[in-house]
Amino acid sequence: MDARSLNLGTGRQDYHESGQGSTLVLLHGISSGAPSWEPLAGHLPGYRLLAWDAPGYGRSTPLVQARPDASDYARRLDEWLTALDVTDCILVGHSLGALMASGYLANHPDRVRGVVLADPARGYKHEPIDLREQVFRSRWPQLAELGHERFAGERAPRLLCDQPTDSALGLVRQGMRRLNLGGFQQSNWLLANDDLVDWWRQAPTRPAQILCGDEDRITTPDAVRALAETLELPYRGIPQAGHAAYIDQPQAFAQALDGFVRGLPND
């Protein structure tokens, strides 16, 4: 995938791109970034892959809102897709990216042909305030205290399967080393104070599927199955994969995406 950048009205937007064909828009999770999707490219040769560095990640300009919700990320996402002249796409949101994808579908549905929610983070908006505050402060203070190297060393294994490959572990650590404290704080606020289901219920109906790594310790299969039942969406497990299922098992993840897209209506 090629690293690219655009200057938008709201600032710089970095992203990675590869291929031609149906467009898959790849939205990473809270501790990751655009480079994390690299392993998928070789398994999806018939697709155009667009993976952004979310606002405040990499060198992408942060949002102006200190306390954003998913609609704030959706506005930047829509501005970026407009600049790229993307009129028809499939959204693939991983973890917190699934919350962003849901916010986008609720606010800007016209270009969305389908949605895949992978190891989705629902959010904690409807939980007690003390739990929301705990969630908000569960990551970025550690980054500030430990520094990027120790933070990555301690947290990266939790995102993968029980026996991850060295390359998978290295890719997750690389993503954590790229984190910017300000953007990380904003996304942690989003996780603690928004709710995927709320956005989904506001959104028009689109074909959708939920994926989850069978060894996910962050958004566990039981929790994700329950979310799939709430949203009335099909669930598919990815064997021998943890929370970052697309990094642990890129081929199986790509096959799931390809199968979903091939099943979409052509009109």
Q: Please write the tens of the pLDDT for every residue from 137-160.
A: 999 999 999 999 999 999 999 999
Domains in the chain (CATH in brackets) are: 2-262 (3.40.50.1820)
Q: Please write the tens of the pLDDT for every residue from 58-102.
A: 999 999 999 999 999 999 999 999 999 999 999 999 999 999 999
- Distance, in Å, from the CA atom of 123 to the CA atom of 135, rounded to the nearest integer, reads 9
Kindly report whether the global pTM for this prediction surpasses the value 0.85. yes
pLDDT at 110 (0 to 100): 94
The mean pLDDT value for 129-140 works out to 96
What are the b/e assignments for 31-63, b being 16+ CB within 10 Å?
bbbbbbbbbbbebbeebbbbbbbbbbbbebbbb
- Distance, in Å, from the CA atom of 176 to the CA atom of 58, rounded to the nearest integer, reads 10
- Distance, in Å, from the CA atom of 109 to the CA atom of 103, rounded to the nearest integer, reads 10
- Distance, in Å, from the CA atom of 144 to the CA atom of 6, rounded to the nearest integer, reads 29
pLDDT above 80 for 267: no
Q: Please write the tens of the pLDDT for every residue from 156-191.
A: 999 999 999 999 999 999 999 999 999 999 999 999
